[in-house]
Amino acid sequence: MNYPTGIKKTNLKKDHSNINYKNRGMTLESEINLSNEYYREIDKAYIYKKPTPIKITKVDYPSRDKAIIKEAFFTIPSTTDYNGIYKGKYIDFEAKETKSTTSFTLSNIHPHQIKHLSNVINHGGVAFVIVRFTTLNETFLLPAEKLLSYLKKCKRKSIPLTYFKEKAIILNDGYQPRIDYLAVVDNLIGGI
Amino acid sequence: MNYPTGIKKTNLKKDHSNINYKNRGMTLESEINLSNEYYREIDKAYIYKKPTPIKITKVDYPSRDKAIIKEAFFTIPSTTDYNGIYKGKYIDFEAKETKSTTSFTLSNIHPHQIKHLSNVINHGGVAFVIVRFTTLNETFLLPAEKLLSYLKKCKRKSIPLTYFKEKAIILNDGYQPRIDYLAVVDNLIGGI
């Protein structure tokens, strides 16, 4: 479960706090968000992270115009985290980090998210996953087509790093945008 | 501010409870959600409502794997409520209800949502608003182009019902889907 940014660190127990607040620099999520902001600023693409899905069970109204959520739970997302429009194309992707130095565990992506990526491709959209091996500091963009063909052939519960090296595209860190994943998307859609 | 569905009615004060729980039948939001579910079932389009954006300020962990949000606030959405893919096209829209019998107040749509609809059109997507006059039980799909040209010409703070009757397309209630707004989108994109 990914917890959203903006949660007070003091409210997180220690075994959770090291997920989002490690010292190695920005999280993949923050870097993608900054990249998307930059793309919007230069009017290149409109891609947003969806809000974290939650189920609200208790709301208080201390005054007429104020609402405070007093109880809610994180729920499993129906779709992927990011979507939007680029060059008239529907863009859809999921971003994940792993500490492993050898493979990416597939349980990080829910089966219905994989089905969703498949649906997007079938309907003419561009779908992919961005996976960062944080310990190695290597980030890959794996087109959904490659992810799906791997899942079809291999019944393993993880994708080895070697598969990323072979089939995915490396995303290098930059200044602006931090991660220029749309340069890779340009190649995927044939450099329109 | 729209509160999400699933909130216990007992936690809502009376002046709020009549917004989402009126007797006249389903809310526009519920009918659109059901229509989108149907479109997905028949593999026609993948359009989802985005989760309600909130800012989480306090989380408790009663056990290692459980997280309960103990304090959070509704925030202003960055974009519109619905987006997805249909016939290879990026689809984006906002849906609103009004009790008025004469006009739709523009304060219902945030300025950055209007800018967002404009960006979508400029980048080759399909954007619109669905507005229901609940008292009249009339529902309209107004293409974003018509909304923007109205805003350019008129400096009024509302759109009169007559403008909807003239420039928008009426959406009739059906059985499956409840609201067949994609039939209208077919016309907008030239019946591809």
Sequential DSSP letters for A107-167: GGS-HHHHHHHHHHHHTT-EEEEEEEETTTTEEEEEEHHHHHHHHHH---SEEEHHHHHHH
| Structure-model confidence comparison of residues B24 and B48, the more confident one | B48
Q: Is the pLDDT of residue B27 over 60?
A: yes
Q: What is the pLDDT of residues A44-100, one digit of tens each?
A: 999 999 999 999 999 999 888 889 999 999 998 889 999 999 999 999 999 999 999
User: For A83, which residue in chain B has the nearest alpha carbon?
Assistant: B84
Interface A:B, Cβ pairs < 8 A: 147
For residues B73 and A68, the answer to whether their CB atoms sit within 8 Å is: yes
Look up the CATH number of domain A22-51+77-188: 3.40.1350.10
Q: What is the pLDDT of residues A140-178, one digit of tens each?
A: 999 999 999 999 998 889 999 999 999 999 999 898 999
Q: What is the pLDDT of residues B79-119, one digit of tens each?
A: 999 999 999 999 999 999 999 999 999 999 999 999 999 99
| Bridge pairing between strands A54-60 and A68-74 | antiparallel
Give contacts of A13 with chain B, Cβ < 8 Å. Answer: 61
Look up the CATH number of domain B9-51+78-188: 3.40.1350.10
Q: What distance in Å separates residue B36's CA from the closest CA in chain A?
A: 13
What pLDDT is recorded for position A78? 85
| Chain B interface includes A74 (CB < 8 A) | yes
Rounded to an integer, what distance in angstroms lies between the CA atom of residue B127 and that of residue B117?
Answer: 6
What pLDDT is recorded for position A156? 85
Q: Is the pLDDT of residue B4 over 80?
A: no
Domain range list for chain B = 9-51+78-188
Name residues 130-149 of chain B within 8 A of A (Cβ).
none
Maximum Cα–Cα distance across chain B = 58
What pLDDT is recorded for position A22? 38
Q: Considering only the beta carbons, identify the residue of A11, A119, A122 that sits closest to B59.
A: A11
Q: Considering only the beta carbons, identify the residue of B46, B54, B59 that sits closest to A119.
A: B46
Exposed, middle or buried by CB within 10 Å (0-12, 13-18, 19+), for B148?
Answer: middle
| Chain B interface includes A21 (CB < 8 A) | no
Q: Is the pLDDT of residue B16 over 50?
A: no
CB atoms within 10 A of CB A50: 18
Q: What is the pLDDT of residues B140-187, one digit of tens each?
A: 999 999 999 999 998 889 999 999 999 999 999 898 999 999 999 999
- pLDDT category at A33 given cuts 50, 70, 90 is very high
pTM over 0.90: no
Give contacts of A124 with chain B, Cβ < 8 Å. Answer: 85, 87-89
Interchain CB distance below 8 Å, B54 and A51: yes
- pLDDT category at B17 given cuts 50, 70, 90 is very low
Q: What distance in Å separates residue A159's CA from the closest CA in chain B?
A: 25
What pLDDT is recorded for position A190? 80
Residues facing residue A133 across a β-bridge: A98, A138
B86 torsion bin: left (phi>0), alpha (psi -120 to 50), beta (else): beta
